[in-house]
Amino acid sequence: MKTFTDRLADVVRRKGPLCVGIDPRLESLPKSLRDKPPAEAFEAFGLRVLELVAPFAGVVKPQAAFFEQYGPAGFAAMGGILKRAKELGFVTILDAKRGDIASTATAYAEAAFGPTWDADSLTVNPYLGQDAVEPFIATARKGNRGLFVLVRTSNPGAGLFQDLNCDGRPVYRHVAEAVVKWNADRGDVGAVVGATHPNELRELRAAMPGVWLLVPGYGAQGGTAADVKAAYDANGLGAVVNSSRGVTFPFQPDDPDWEAKIVAAAKKAQGELK
């Protein structure tokens, strides 16, 4: 079985670095889906998005919170989307930002990588330290899966803690150093670094050679294609660039041609990011 990073590199070579985030919002869905219960509408929309963006992206990232809010039906919807994504050949990132003490981390990891979600990778919050991250690494490696650890995030308030000076360096640099160490053995521990901080993105690409970056913030959050180019390595690999609203909601709910607009947005993003 190919390693996680081999599979990730394969799809990026074939389709480019675009990662499509599936973050369904009830108020933004096409009106044609509004007659369904919310979780069913989310699944129907997500499944259609997968088919529409498949020629332009090899990575998809469902955001767990949007599905979890609808309980068991929401969980079933997310499971259906993850299953179909793998059938279509996508590499999947379960965006759940998990992080807890070791025994709980193991349970979270088993849920992400076991039969429940069968995700290819998972976003992880490292705030609790090494003993809370290690169970995710160990569980991921049992099945050739991967992680993306939060290092420098794209949200406006990220600097409140991430920029704090610690021993002469910002906290995010200490986290980046830990990620480099965790990644050294297998190359399967990546980092989340936002496109909305292009200077830090360039800095962290240099500081984390060989680490795959998951780059949020492109598109609706303000990051540009020029901003994210610093994330790629010398071979044009090393990063996947997420766009959620920019690709999945480039339409108004009453637009009859919403599918064509998703295709156009995905094609445009693919072209900009290559």
Q: Which residues are catalytic?
A: 97
Task: Give the CA distances from residue 155 to residues 165, 192, 218, 255, in Å, rounded to whole numbers and listed in that order.
Answer: 19, 12, 12, 30
Q: Where are the beta strands (DSSP E) in 115-187?
A: 121-124, 146-152, 165-166, 169-170
Helix (H) or strand (E) holding 77: helix 71-87
Nearest residue to 28 via CA among 248, 269, 261: 248
**Secondary structure of residue 212 in the 3-state scheme:** coil
Task: Give the CA distances from residue 153 to residues 129, 130, 193, 272, in Å, rounded to whole numbers and listed in that order.
Answer: 17, 19, 5, 22
Letter for the amino acid at 114?
G
What does the block give as tokens for 171? 């906290």
Please check whether residue 245 is in contact with residue 219, taking contact to mean a CB–CB distance below 8 angstroms.
Answer: yes
CA dihedral for 182, 186, 192, 194, sign (positive or negative): positive
